[in-house]
Amino acid sequence: MTTNAERPKSRIRVFFQHLLGWLIYILYEEAVVYFSKIDISTVFAFIVNAIIFYNTWKILRAISKKITNVFFLAPVLFVVSTAIIAITVLFKLEVDALIYHTSFQVSADPDKISSLIMRTIYFGGMGAAFGFARELIQREREVAQHSIEKAQILEQQQKLEKKALQAELNVIKSQINPHFVFNTLGFLYAETYKKLPEVGQSIITLSNIMRYALTKNEDGFSSLESELAYIKDFIKIHEDRSKAFFMKISIESGVIPYKVVSLVLITLIENMFKHGIFNQSTKEAVLSITVVDGKLHFYSLNYKNNNSVNKIQSNGIGLNYIRERLTDEYGRDGYELLVDETHNSYECKLTMPLKYHESN
C-alpha cells in the first residue's frame, strides 16, 4: 500500500513520464513534417491539444455524475462536446492569426477548420479513452485491494477464534487442581482395591484418563500410544458401568512410534458415546483404528439413542475444530474426513498422516 510520503514522488514520476511522452510525440510529428526546426504555432497547438486531452474526460465525467437521467445526459454531453470543439478551434484560429499577423477570415480556411476539428476530436476522444481506462484500472485495483484486506481480516479472525478456543480449554484445565484430584483417587484406590478389586481398577482407569486429559502438549501432538491408551481406558470405564455392552473393537497401532494430532480421535470417540446405543446386541457399535504406511485409518459406526437423557459430557470441541485443526496441519487435501449421519445411525471415516516420534 502506498504511504503518504511516497505519493508526491509517485505523482512527480507520473508527471515526467507524461511530459516525456508528449515531447516524443511532438518531435516525431515535426520530424515527419519538417525534418528540422519546430514551428512555434505547432508547439502552441500541441499545448492546447494536451489541455484538451487531459480535461475532456474530467468535464464529461463531472457532468455524468451530476445528471443521472440517461435520456437527458446524452444530449447534454453532445452539446458540451460540441462547445469544447468549437471553442478550441476558434481559439487556435485566433492565435494563429496573431502569430502570422493575418486576419481571422484568412486564417479560417475551410480545410484548416476541418483539420482543427478532426484534431480536437482526436485528442479529446483519446483523452476520454485514457481517462476511462485509468478510472477502470483504479477501480479494479481498489476491488483487488479490498479483497486482499477482506482475506486478511478473515484470516486474522480465524486466528483469534482459535486462540479463544485454546484459552477456553486452558481455563477448563485450570479449574481443576490436578494434585488434589490424583491424591483423592489414589486414596480411594488404596481403600477399595483389597475388598473391591474391580472398583479399584476402575478408579485407576479413571485416574489415567484424567491425567492424560490434563497433560499439556505444546506442539499440539500426542504420542499415538498414549492416545490409544486413553481411548481404551475411556471405553473400559463405560463398559464396566454397563450391564450389557456390545461394541466390536479393533485397535492396531503397529510398532513404529508415531505422534498424532491431539484431541482428534478422542473427540470422535466421545461423539460415539454421547449419542450411541451400546446395550443392544442387534445394534452393535463398531470401532476400528489401524495404521498403514504412516497413515491412521479410523472407522466408527454406532446407532443413535435419540431419547437418551444420560449422554456423556463432551469436551465441546466438535467436528468443526477437527476439520480446522487437520486443515491447518495437512491442508484441505492432506486428509479425508467423511461423516454419514442419519436419523438412526452415525458413521465416521478418517484418514490422516502421522508424524514420526523423533524423541523415541
pLDDT confidence of residue 290? 93
Return the domain boundaries, the chain: 39-156, 238-356
**Architecture of the domain whose range is 238-356:** 2-Layer Sandwich (3.30)
Residue 252, φ and ψ in degrees, nearest 5: -130, 115
pLDDT confidence of residue 262? 82
Name 260's Cβ contacts closer than 8 Å, sequence gap at least 6. Answer: 221, 222, 223, 224, 227, 296, 352, 354, 355
Work out the average pLDDT over 218-242.
Answer: 81
pLDDT confidence bin for 135, thresholds 50/70/90: confident
pLDDT confidence bin for 309, thresholds 50/70/90: very low
For residue 145, pLDDT over 80 is answered with yes
Three-class secondary structure assignment of 20-45: HHHHHHHHHHHHHHCCCCCCHHHHHH
pLDDT confidence of residue 316? 43
What average pLDDT does the chain have? 77
| Rounded distance between C-alpha atoms, residue 286 and residue 128, angstroms | 73
Q: With CA atoms as reference, report the closest residue to 300 among 334, 332, 267.
A: 267
pLDDT confidence of residue 313? 47
Min mean pLDDT across 16-20, 132-136, 144-148, 203-207 is at: 203-207
